[in-house]
Homo-oligomer: A and B are copies of this chain.
């Protein structure tokens, strides 16, 4: 039995981690830390992460870190040094340097570090990768649009420098692309739309190396959600991942897929890694985001309130 504690108990922990842990017989939840008050999920609650880590000495094996990204590096560092295996919600850190340092620490300490990019477990990802393997890509279009007021209400940190802005969502698309494309994704140019009164972008376009490869992320979309990846190959195949990867169309034909089990699969993988004492650190989605930020042209757009 793997005894796991969760640090950061917001929406993603409550909606996804909690049921995934509960439904996996290899895991037992043994504690949660959040400053927002006891979520009353039947295990000890700590108002402070350091308190939890101290209390879990000998009482937990692994820590899942679900705080906002800015806090993850320091917490993961502390958890690894204290001897815990660590799962990091996406994005796993604020910088590539932090992620490299955590991986080096985990390996030095013989601990497991696992970057859980949940969209990589969307049901379309593995079949899309199989279709695209060995293909040459002719066209790539990503359209990742949603209403930030619906999906990130009250998340002020997301607008700060280092808060990622629309990349907090768009990085899900990048995490899928880095799994399904047969070649690495190289940023040629990017454009960020940054609200007048904020530091992080509310919209972005990225042009990739490739004749006709582009992504568009936009948080100013209030007609539902559009989470779409559309790829055509040089030999004429058309691959569409819709609804964030929940649906797959090949040459216009809807493919039968397994049910969406992103988080159960994340914990399945975490259990496998812990058994094998292996790290799984995927830095590609963060690398693509960093490259986009480095080369991006910025334009100022209407203030966001």
Contacts and interface: CB of A to CB of B under 8 A. Distances in A.
Q: What 6 A-B pairs are tightest by C-beta distance, nearest first?
A: A162-B295, A95-B291, A161-B297, A290-B290, A293-B294, A97-B186
- Copies of the chain in the assembly: 2
Contact of A290 (B162, B189, B194, B291): B291
Contact of A96 (B73, B194, B291, B296): B291
A101 interface: yes
Interface in A71-103: 73, 94-98, 100-101
Contact of A186 (B101, B194, B199, B296): B101
Nearest to A296: B161
B187 A101 contact: no
Given A97-B184, A97-B186, A186-B95, A290 B288 contact: no
Contacts of A97: 184-187, 287-288, 291
5 contacts: A95-B187, A97-B287, A98-B186, A162-B294, A290-B293
A115 to B, nearest CB: 16
Contacts of A296: 161
Contacts of A291: 95-97, 290
Contacts of A104: 184
A264 to B, nearest CB: 31
A87 B104 CA distance: 29
A246 interface: no
A162 B199 CA distance: 19
A96 B186 CA distance: 9
Interface in A163-220: 184-187, 189-190, 194, 199, 209
A298 interface: yes
A197 to B, nearest CB: 13
A189 B94 CA distance: 10
A289 interface: yes
Contacts of A101: 184, 186
A96 B297 contact: no
Given A98-B186, A186-B97, A290-B290, A298 B298 contact: yes
Nearest to A100: B184
A199 B297 contact: yes
